[in-house]
Structure 1
Amino acid sequence: MASSGQDVSEAPLLPRSRSLSFYVTLLFAVLPLWSSIPLSWLFAGYSLYSGKWRSYHLGWRALFFVALCEVVFSIYHYFLARRVSRPTPLGPGHPDEIQVAYIRLLKTGMANLPEDGGDIETLEIARPGSPAETITQLERDDPRAVDFRNSIRTWFCKVPWSSIKLVEAQKWLYWAMYNAELPPLEDLPETNRSALNDALALFQRRVGCKIEEGSNPHAMPMRLTIDNTLILWRPLSFYLLVGTINWGLRLLYKSRWNANHGYFNGLEYILRVPPNWDPQTSPRPVVFLHGLGLGLLQYHHLISHLIEEFPNRPLLVPLQPQISQDFFHPDFLNPPGRAEMAARIAGLIQHLGWAELVGEKECNTDSEEDESLSTLTDNPQRGVTLLSHSNGSYVHAWMLKGYPEIIGRSCFVDPVTFCSWEGDVCYNFFYRPCMNGIELIMRYFVGTELGVSNLLQRHFCWTSNSLWFEEIPNATDPSKTMFLLGGNDAIVNSERVKRYLSSHGVRKGLWFDPEGIHGQALVRGGPGMNIVLKWLSEHED
């Protein structure tokens, strides 16, 4: 927390210089892949224009054919990128849900909780700091106001707070509320105008000062779903290689561990159920929610490690082609929404007999049902253990919001769902200039990929994707909930996430590696992976 004598929200963003790793990555990883498209155009164009393709030997003819395929694919990719770059198809969210989320955002940090959560053993309430605070007018130098201004200015690319003017603040608020560009104020419907004014009044109470009238085009807010997208091409051969490897891994899982690749109500998954698993006496199943990247190829070592470490325990891996560069999947550019995705996973878990949904939440089975679903039992388990990494924590959040009764335990690794209302994940992933090799890899190989851009820049809902502490059952019980963070995470502001969790009483259930980078906690044989495996094996009676 900032001290009263220091306004860190006015500190300018420190300049950064590009490291050697940036240029090495650019030269040996990014440029070879990126340049394959223009080189294919040049080679194919020259061969056709000169007519030399007729005299090519077999090897050159094969290369010419590949170049032609890359040319055609690049044209198709261009039109898909144009389609994705259109305005978001998502309309504004539910007004009540947005209002609740916005009030929660403003109340975060108002309770003035100690960073270590205080003496939670003597508390008379179950969860310290739940949203029961009143949004009062703070003084400008109140540490809570200073800290809030410093975090919110991230949405304005970390410019000094005093450079943010009223017009830009209204644009950001209107986008957060209506997922749209702010029209001229005189054209606003009265309902929207009143809601915007109320939101602005509460906002100015929380930041401890009036926002200066006027506009500053150099302090424009980040508005992820309506800002221009940056989509860089990938060669057809790259997508084919990734798809082929993932197809081979599915075959490997089937032959080595009898893991089935199937579909349920539109959800694609990998499922392994040990032949002797008993739903009444055996440990509860593990459901792994993967993050952005290359799908099974990226998480193969983790998945195989989980199967080897827990051979008598079921493992379910819902596949998300939209974030796995699975270009040829029919749903590559059709990501399911929060309710749809959560319902599919919950329905599959219920159909497997691993948990029982409360009320009328059942989901019907799709016609493409796999034989692996034959494990349905009349005596369901006490829920599943949900393990998520990075972007998978969004789906984890959706499950906790919609179907908490089927989740017995939760483990979050490098979660992006916490403190996402502060803008660090958005800024680091899409807006921050790349200065080292890790940032460049993250930007080119993930952030500017067609499917990822479509999901995160045109189908992102901050209210659905933000998980608040009070929405986590048994959050302070280390046997039920575990959090793993890396201090050098290039995506997550792990220090702020750590403070948010620990201030609410999370202690033994929080593992923090000061030197850890994004994904390091799941490296086989590493200390983070050992913590995950130990936690998974404990408290399953």
Structure 2
Amino acid sequence: MIGTSIPQYIFIRICIFALRLITPLSIFYVSFSLAEYPTSAGERFLLTWSIIEAAFYLFVYIPRKRALQASAQHPPLLEKEERKALFWKCWDKIPHPEYYISRWFLGARPGEVRRDNVKEFYEWALMNRGTESEDELVRRAQEDPEAKIEEEEELKEYVDGVETMLGRPIPPGRGPAKSLRLTIDEVNMRHRPVVWYLIVMFVDTFTAVYLRYNGFLLHRTHLRSALAIFPPRPASLFTRQISSAPDLSYWYRPHTSKTRLPILFIHGIGIGLMPYSQWLIGINKQDPLTATDGEIGIIAIELMPISFRITGVIKSPDDICRQVNMILERHGFDKVVLASHSYGSVVSTHLLKDPATAAKIGPVLFVDPVTFLLHLPDVAYNFTARRPRYANEHQLWYFASTDMMVAHTLARNFFWSQNILWKDDLRGHDVTVSLGGSDLIVDSTAVGKYIAGADLKSEDRAWKDLEWKGEGIEIIWWPTADHAQVFERKEGRMKLAHVLREYAKRKEQAEDDWF
């Protein structure tokens, strides 16, 4: 993640402008060449490339954009008592009520958010409503009037709860405010030229060579699945290792240690494993016990739909957990240290809640997690709705938020009530949460206070300076780090690698837990 300086702002805006200009210029050049066919080799190459870019936009991007606007398949609705319990649990963890309402309603002023607006928001947030037509709503009310009355009473309780939280009355009726409802709003994506995907392919290939040189082996999916990814992955053609999971490829560094646990890593949204490669290699490279005990094994799962590729939609949480378990079983791992970054914390949340995989997870490292306090609007608003101003915000907006498959993953497969993680879910685990003080996505201060057990409304700062001991739930605070920047800093990589090596020593403790 780049910074916020003026030179960086100019650089990122030029990069975005240049990439967005390629397609319209290509269409213009193709149209121009119809009148006068180019004669030189250079002009013919330029025409060929322009045709490729124009065809990619017209016959790949536009049809796929339309297809990806299809309605989300929401998870099963929580029971009424579960919904109420979740509402009040979230209600108790909202440090700034006016900010909470304003951000979920896209910056609306207090008078613009009225009772019907709040009701509509919770119809989506807790009841999976929002896509029905007026006729469907009327028909459902006529078929089961008692259920409709109960639903209205439940929604009234939520609106009254928000009113109590704000400490002021919410005007009746409906105001002009529009709430952020990710899974029913339009999937906000932007076109990428073929040139961009060639850059992605180059970076992916370079990363593959670097990882392979340093002892990692790619386990690709079956050839048909591996070839259904654009841009193509040359590394998939140069490996004989096949993943036991049908939809998950991964990189594996063999586990030779006899006394320590292996590591399972889940990456975040971005250009695959490239940002983490130095850190992953450094876990063993800087390990003083390698010579006597052997190396710590590392499995780094690849999630293609959030890696700037055009591919199939991301699998359901149950499918991902099942396939991760298949990978662990293949390598004979009964216990692992779990590490994840950013969106990877979503997958980690489901691994911790799924009975089959939860039993295999020991200590946990979260870096820039997005799942804690997910009911707060920061993650959803900052990633999908914020109008970018600074260099890092423009980078996030164009290269991540509006990527075709990333946008679809967040808009049609990201359900906050299913993905939220509470400290209660971490019982029995030693956990470290690494947070950046300048995170442009997560309200890292609020998350840090929550993890530390401090009052979210207090000015307590003592938790930021606590020494890491490797016991219980702990925080590592990086005062000036933005989202993912800890991996760009040598100090950050070394510290996080040290945490994993210390956690990997818990094998004997883990074996005691089994019996």
- Pick the TM interval, shorter chain: 0.7 to 0.9
What amino acid sits opposite 1:535 in the alignment?
V
**1:48 paired residue number:** 34
1:404 aligns with 2:358: yes
Are the equivalent residues in 1 in contact too, given 2:272–2:302 (CA < 8 A)? yes
Q: How many angstroms does 1:405 deviate by?
A: 1.4
2:269 to 292, 300, 310: 292
Name the SS of the counterpart of 1:221 in structure 2: coil
Aligned mates of 2:94, 2:495 — CA distance in 1 = 37
* Match 1:197 to one of 145, 148, 153: 153
Q: Partners of 1:288 and 1:272 in 2: how far apart?
A: 10
The answer to whether the 8 Å contact 1:145/1:207 transfers is no
Is the 2:77–2:128 Cα contact (8 Å) retained in structure 1? Answer: no
CA–CA distance in 2 between the matches of 1:287 and 1:252?
A: 19
CA offsets per residue over residues 23-60 of structure 1, 9 Å max, x none?
Answer: 514542110111111111112221233223xx122x33
> Which of 82, 85, 109 does residue 100 from structure 1 map onto?
82
Equivalent position of 2:229 in the other structure? none
Question: Could you tell me which of 335, 348, 372 is aligned with 2:327?
Answer: 348
> 1:534 & 1:256 partners in 2: Cα distance?
19
Match of 1:517 among 479, 482, 485: 482
Amino acid across the alignment from 1:351: R
2:15 equivalent in structure 1: 29
In 1, the alpha carbon distance for the partners of 2:253 and 2:13 equals 45
Residues 1:81 and 2:65 aligned together: yes
Letter in 1 for 2:173: G
Distance in 2 of aligned mates of 1:424 and 1:258: 36
Alignment CA distance shift 1:30-1:353 (3 Å) = same
Alpha-carbon shift at residue 223 of structure 1 (Å): 0.5
Aligned-pair CA distance for 1:495? 1.3
Give, in angstroms, the shift of residue 437 of structure 1.
Answer: 0.7
For 1:113, the equivalent position in structure 2 comes to: none
Partner of 2:230: none
Q: Which residue does 2:226 correspond to in 1?
A: none
Correspondence for 2:225: none
Q: Which amino acid in structure 1 is aligned with residue 271 of structure 2?
A: L
Go from structure 1 to structure 2 and tell me whether the alpha carbon gap of 1:400 and 1:47 turns closer, same or farther (over 3 Å shift).
same
- CA drift of 1:206 comes to 5.1
Find out whether 1:216 has 2:170 as its counterpart: no
- Report if aligned partners of 2:16, 2:398 keep a CA contact under 8 Å in 1: yes
Q: What is the match of residue 39 of structure 1?
A: 25
Could you say which residue in structure 2 is the equivalent of 1:154?
103
User: Which of 474, 490, 496 is the equivalent residue of 1:532?
Assistant: 496
Matches within 5 A, 1:138-537: 147-176=96-125, 177-181=127-131, 184=134, 186-189=138-141, 190=145, 191=147, 194-205=150-161, 207-208=163-164, 210-217=169-176, 219-262=177-220, 263-274=243-254, 277-278=256-257, 281-310=258-287, 312-327=295-310, 332-355=311-334, 383-402=335-354, 403-474=357-428, 480-503=430-453, 508=468, 509-526=474-491, 528-537=492-501
Specify which structure has the higher proportion of helix: 2
**Letter aligned with residue 47 of structure 1:** S
Displacement of 1:470 in angstroms is 0.6
Any conservation in 1 of the 2:336–2:362 contact (CA below 8 Å)? yes
Aligned equivalents of 2:383 and 2:95: distance in 1? 25
Q: How many residues align?
A: 446
Counterpart contact for 1:92–1:179, Cα < 8 Å: no
How far apart are residue 103 of structure 1 and its match? 2.2
Aligned AA (2:313): N
- How far 1:72 moved relative to its partner? 0.7
Is contact 1:413–1:483 with CA below 8 Å preserved after alignment?
yes
Q: Would you say the 8 A contact 2:349–2:371 is kept in 1?
A: yes
Provide the secondary structure at the position in 2 that maps to 1:445: helix
Conserved 8 A contact 2:87-2:158: no
Q: RMSD in angstroms over aligned alpha carbons? A: 2.6
Distance in 1, matches of 2:379 and 2:210, equals 35
Q: Which residue of the partner structure matches residue 133 of structure 1?
A: none
Matches of 1:56 and 1:99 in 2, distance apart? 73
1:210, CA displacement in angstroms? 4.8
Amino acid at match of 1:308: K
Which deviations, in whole Å up to 9, do the C-alpha atoms of 1:103-159 show, x marking residues without a partner?
Answer: 23422464xxxxxxxxxxxxxxxxxxxxxxxxxxxxxxxxx8874454244211243
Long gaps (5+) in structure 2: 221-242, 456-462, 469-473, 507-515
Cα distance in 2 between the residues matched to 1:25 and 1:394: 32
Give, in whole Å, the separation in 2 of the partners of 1:248 and 1:104.
45
Counterpart residue type for residue 312 of structure 2 = L
Check 1:199–1:531 CA distance in 2 against 1; reply closer, same or farther (3 A cut). Answer: farther
For residues 423-469 of structure 1, give each alpha carbon's deviation from its aligned partner in whole angstroms, at most 9, with x where no partner exists. 11111111111111100110011111101011101221112211111
The amino acid of 1:107's aligned partner reads: K
Structure 1 residue 524: deviation in Å? 4.0
Cα contact 1:174–1:196 (8 A) shared by 2: no
CA distance in 2, matches of 1:69, 1:537: 48
Deviations along 1:343-385, whole A, 9 cap, x unmatched? 1112211232111xxxxxxxxxxxxxxxxxxxxxxxxxxx111
Query: How far apart are residue 84 of structure 1 and its match?
Result: 1.3
Are the structure 2 counterparts of residues 248 and 514 from structure 1 closer, same or farther at C-alpha, using a change threshold of 3 Å?
closer
CA distance in 2, matches of 1:303, 1:326: 22
Q: 1 CA distance for matches of 2:160 and 2:82?
A: 18
Report which stretch shifted further, 513-522 or 295-304.
Answer: 295-304
Does the Cα contact within 8 Å between 1:486 and 1:516 map onto a contact in 2? yes
Query: Matches of 2:128 and 2:148 in 1, distance apart?
Result: 9
Q: Which residue of structure 1 lines up, in the alignment, with residue 471 of structure 2?
A: none
Q: Distance in 1 between matches of 2:385 and 2:70?
A: 19
The answer as to whether partners of 1:101 and 1:463 remain within 8 angstroms in 2 is no
Aligned-pair CA distance for 1:67: 1.2
Identical aligned residues as a percent: 23
| Contact 1:106-1:206 at 8 Å conserved across structures | no
Q: TM-score with structure 1 length normalisation? A: 0.76
